[in-house]
Structure 1
Amino acid sequence: MKTDIISTEHIIMIIVAISTGTCARILTVKEDFRQYPSYPNGYLTNLVTGFVAAALGAVAIPALMTKNFIAVTFLTLAIQQFRDVRKAERESLKDLEDAEYTSRGNAYIDGIAKTFEARNYFALIVSFGSALTMQLINSKIMAINIVSGIITGFILLFVLKRFSKGKTIGDIAEVESGIISLKNNDLYVNGIYVTNLLGSDDASSLFQKEGIAAVISPNEERFRITLDHFGQQQAALFEATRTLGLKRYHYTRKDFENGKVIITFVPILKDADRLIEAIKKTPLLESTKKNKDVLSTNFVGRN
């Protein structure tokens, strides 16, 4: 009975491709760092799924070369697996909503879950590209094949990161520290009315002494569409309170005249620079993005 044994060249190809794909996932984990619910478990879960994705991409080429077409069908199972990862991540983040200083909001959670799913595709594509390059070059000098596969993998990673890189609030707006003032227990930031819900003198005094505020000003009029979105404001508030902590009270307010958005709260750590940086780095949610070309389309009149 004849037994098909995988060649040494294919074994090396699989190892190199898996290593490259897994490294791609490791390099992108850091980008998701501040969105993780926990350090060790968050890293472990995404690194393991990244390794699995890289393995699926790595074995595709050897499977085709050995005419094992059934093995290639496992790639279709990977799609479902990655969707399950997204679903699990979404459910996990929703379960944590009541335990956070402020809620992320459904729009932000959906974006985070989709990001985690996309990172696994990175690992699969990088791994597949590395294996395909090694097979196409097929040099008698194995070192040339290995180096070519690794270089191709990292080029693919660079291209994918550039293609998928989203914008942040800092790309569309100016963020500056706001000046808090109180008039008859009414809260103002930079002269803009925020709320009258502070109530007692003790609450007003606490906000006056320890409160912090940021003012977000859109760079263009059209960016008001994004900043006025409740989900986007909720995401910015979440990142702010997660960075500095929340002692008491938190408010968001938009100025209808000039489109400015106010974020103010009493933090555990009072650091205006960190507050501004946290808000600037808050991702723009997919549900808030608008295409300028579509918005400026000229419609032909109907008779």
Structure 2
Amino acid sequence: MKFWFLTEPETIGVIIGVFFGIVSRIYMLRTDYRQYPTYPHGKLIHLSLAIIAAGLGAILVPALLNKDYTAVTFLTLAAQQFRDVRNMERQSLEKVDQMELVPRGNAYIEGIAMVFEGRNYLVIFSAFVASFFGIVFAWYWGILAGLLSLIVAKIFQSGKNLGQIADIREAQVRVEGPDLYVDSVYIMNVGLPSNQKIIQKHGMGLMVTPKNQNVKVTIANLGQRQAILHNLSTILGVYRDSGEPALIPMTKLNLETGELAVFILPQIADTETAKQALRRVPVLENAVRMPTESAARSKGGK
């Protein structure tokens, strides 16, 4: 018995496109230390959307080849749907964030929501590319193009980490009377002797040294700094409970050098793990600033 779809290039092209679209989403979807998306229901939602996105991307090719240009208008509906997904993720994370001892912050939440929207477009891209090559050329070219699209999706899956733009080192935590310092950077005033003892016992300090002028402005962003504190607290734990403002993790800038001092009270007092966790903190897209690219700072800029 012959496989009937082998004689229908459009059908097999669409199947290949849908397959690689779904595979690309599975490839990009994982539940990590942040426990988001949740398992299994959060993953089920995103995989269901992946099937829809893959179908749109794959079917778009035969529609264009058959000169059915009105089918392209369905992409606008898909874009609206994925924007609704972004809003859904934002609202969900904002509600969950209210229960965190060290919240993510609005900038981090917006970045996560933006990523989930963007990855649906990568699914459409993978499905479209695999379907196009499978229909126009041959099914094996569709598979090859689908594999290459997975590489592209992996490249655009995530941006830079903090370790790529800054150097991380351990810093000394000092309590001088009521004043708390990380190296020479003043952090805050700690009035209660009991809190001073807790900080002396459990406090840990890290210093983030920017590699260039642009990074100085990026790590000064309050949203980026909150993301640093949230990730460290999630991985290492945090030695505090609600209603204890004196024991909250904090970041402060060294205004002369642009370095960022990080003070945390971890449950797991492992400096190497803390430095590695800090290196892996994502650089938020909406926190990136590039003042050196400004025409005002270039020679002869007006």
TM-score range, shorter chain: 0.7 to 0.9
Residue identity in the other structure for 1:30: R
CA contact (8 A) 2:16 2:134 kept: no
- SS at 1:262 equivalent: strand
Report what 2:99 is aligned to. 99
Structure 1 residue 203 corresponds to structure 2 residue 195: yes
Report what 1:4 is aligned to. none
Call closer, same or farther: CA 1:275–1:300 in 2, change over 3 Å: closer
Which whole-Å deviations, capped at 9, do the CAs of 1:232-282 have from their partners, x for residues lacking one? 111111111111121222221111121111121222222222222222122
> Aligned equivalents of 2:269 and 2:143: distance in 1?
46
Report what 2:285 is aligned to. 286
- Taking the TM superposition and a 5 Å limit, the aligned residue runs for 1:1-303 are 8-30=8-30, 34=34, 36=36, 38-66=38-66, 68-138=68-138, 145=139, 147-162=140-155, 165-196=158-189, 198-248=190-240, 249=247, 250-291=249-290, 292-294=292-294, 296-299=297-300
Residue identity in the other structure for 1:247: Y
1:159 CA drift (Å): 2.8
Residue identity in the other structure for 1:219: K
CA contact (8 A) 1:101 1:245 kept: no
> Aligned equivalents of 1:81 and 1:227: distance in 2?
33
Call closer, same or farther: CA 1:149–1:33 in 2, change over 3 Å: farther
Residue identity in the other structure for 2:130: S
> Aligned equivalents of 1:94 and 1:213: distance in 2?
28
Call closer, same or farther: CA 1:189–1:299 in 2, change over 3 Å: same
> Aligned equivalents of 1:208 and 1:119: distance in 2?
44
Normalised by the length of structure 2, the TM-score is 0.86
Residue identity in the other structure for 2:193: D
The size of the alignment, in residue pairs, is 287
> Aligned equivalents of 1:31 and 1:40: distance in 2?
10
Call closer, same or farther: CA 1:47–1:107 in 2, change over 3 Å: same
1:70 CA drift (Å): 4.6
Residue identity in the other structure for 2:219: L
| Gapped regions of structure 1 (runs ≥ 5) | 1-6, 139-144
> Aligned equivalents of 1:276 and 1:128: distance in 2?
41
1:123 CA drift (Å): 0.6
CA contact (8 A) 1:122 1:157 kept: no
CA contact (8 A) 1:104 1:238 kept: yes
1:44 CA drift (Å): 1.9
> Aligned equivalents of 1:300 and 1:186: distance in 2?
44
Report what 2:4 is aligned to. none
1:228 CA drift (Å): 1.1
- SS at 2:187 equivalent: strand
* Identity in percent: 35
Normalised by the length of structure 1, the TM-score is 0.86
CA contact (8 A) 1:245 1:268 kept: yes
> Aligned equivalents of 1:265 and 1:208: distance in 2?
11
Call closer, same or farther: CA 1:56–1:134 in 2, change over 3 Å: same
